[in-house]
């Protein structure tokens, strides 16, 4: 059972990559290879990534020396094999309920010369239908507004009804179709745009959405 937690929204760090890849594999199981997040964070000046984390207040990890060994020779052998197999991949993560910070959602935005393009929004399966995706969308729009980008774009699977409903709520319009856009099943993608975010009318509407979200889901702490 997890301790008392609080939800924090902050920029994505290199230490978050392994958990974000977990979420990516849950959300897009047929995508291979995973997104090159290290390159995105260190080299792509256009890219901006934010994460929502569930922070365990007062959690103290068990020191490595105090962790129980695998029982018996066979258990230790399998533990060593797992370490070898994972050494060339991502670091092995502790169980979800033993993490001081559990990354539960991620959004990525590329700030292009004439638009803010949302490249990903993904939420950990265990935390869906809790307003996380909507919070991440709000953050992406706020980021675009702060950079004075008047246009936000993204692609969405034609079969993803819940996501399309969320984008429609915020005023995105279908302006195109990319046939066979997704490589896993050759599914089409809608091209969606939101092109009046710098107007006073949209700003007022966005503030209403934020207030509605906070009333329903509570406040999220922000860290820069």
Tens-digit pLDDT profile for residues 87-116: 334 568 888 888 889 999 999 999 999 999
Mean pLDDT of 2-26: 88
User: What is the DSSP-derived secondary structure letter of residue 5?
Assistant: E
How many Å apart are CA 143 and CA 149, to the nearest integer? 9
- Give me the helix-helix angle, 132-146 and 161-169, nearest 10°: 40
Instruction: Look at residue 180 and tell me whether its pLDDT is greater than 60.
Output: yes
Question: Which of 73-87, 155-169, 200-214 has the weakest average pLDDT?
Answer: 73-87
126, 116, 6, 209 alpha-carbon torsion, rounded to 10°: -90
Question: How does pLDDT run across 27-62, given as a tens digit for each residue?
Answer: 887 776 778 999 999 999 999 999 999 988 655 444
Task: Note the pTM of the prediction, 2 decimals.
Answer: 0.82
Q: What is the pLDDT of residues 139-170, one digit of tens each?
A: 999 999 999 999 999 999 999 999 999 999 99
Domains (range + CATH), the chain: 5-219 (3.40.630.30)
């Amino acid at each position: 059972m997890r301790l008392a937690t609080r939800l924090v929204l902050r920029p994505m760090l290199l230490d978050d990559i392994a958990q974000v890849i977990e979420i990516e594999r849950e959300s897009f199981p047929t995508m291979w290879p995973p997104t090159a997040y290290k390159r995105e964070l260190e080299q792509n000046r256009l890219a901006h990534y934010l994460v929502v984390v569930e922070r365990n207040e007062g959690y103290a990890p068990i020191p490595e020396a105090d962790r129980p060994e695998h029982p018996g020779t066979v258990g230790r052998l399998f533990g060593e094999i797992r370490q070898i197999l994972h050494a060339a991949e991502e670091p092995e993560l502790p169980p979800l309920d033993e993490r001081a910070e559990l990354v539960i959602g991620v959004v990525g935005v590329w700030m292009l010369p004439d638009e803010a393009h949302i490249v990903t929004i993904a939420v950990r399966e265990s935390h869906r239908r809790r307003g996380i995706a909507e919070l991440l969308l709000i953050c992406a729009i706020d980021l675009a507004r702060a950079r004075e980008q008047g246009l936000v774009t993204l692609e969405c699977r034609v079969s993803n009804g819940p996501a399309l409903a969320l984008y429609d709520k915020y005023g995105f319009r279908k302006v195109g179709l990319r046939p066979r856009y997704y490589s896993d099943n050759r599914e089409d993608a809608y091209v969606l745009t939101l092109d009046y975010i710098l107007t006073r009318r949209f700003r007022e509407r966005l503030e209403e959405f934020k207030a509605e979200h906070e009333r329903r889901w509570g406040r999220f702490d922000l860290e820069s």
